[in-house]
Structure 1
Amino acid sequence: IQPGDYSYVAGQAAMRAYGQVPQVTAVLAGSDMAAIGVLNQARDFGLTVPHDLSIMAIDGTELCELVQPQLSSVSQSFYDMGVAGVEQLTTAQQQPPKITPITVVTRESVRFIEN
């Protein structure tokens, strides 16, 4: 676990903290931008994604499809999250929080390890 925010620079810093020969096989980044920072820093270290390191993002925006390799992601609907938030704000009654669905989208940045 590396501290940081959800930015590109935080992703780079996290990967630098793991080093050129990371002791991890995969990184789950807190956002698409952070995952791209991890990806680019891993490349700068000479690592190949996903052969040397698997990377998964959280958000699932179009950014995941614009980089190479395309990033696998835990995708969430920002529209549904917005609707749920507005419903919470505009409803006079106290309601339990609404959980919006997520999906795992497998693209090119994750290697499956077989036993």
Structure 2
Amino acid sequence: MLLIGALLVFAFFNNGRSYFILELHGMDDLEISNIIVEGPDFTTGFYMTAQVKKEMSVFKINVDSPINEGTATITINIENSSPLVLSNMPFKNGKTIYISLSGGNLNYVKAHW
């Protein structure tokens, strides 16, 4: 009975949200080959196949994170070009992080948490 109570408390506080959403804007014309997100306790990579590119109208990616909030580095590798890198990007599980491309640089758009 104690175990069931502990699991219910964990489920209530965890709320099933051990990820944040990374939404990329202004990158429709880029030939993205992969995206790497590195946090303090995780590294996640996403490969962009032709099929994925065709089916995505918006670049929206769920990034699993074992910690609730912190900072991460995002690296976007582009075919035949230098990678785009954004360091110290704040994140919080359950929230959406907006990244835009402007003037050849990645920019973090501050969200209202």
Compute the TM-score of the two structures, normalised by the length of structure 2: 0.25
Bigger relative contact order (CA 8 A; separation at least 6): 2
More strand by share: 2
Greater fraction helix: 1
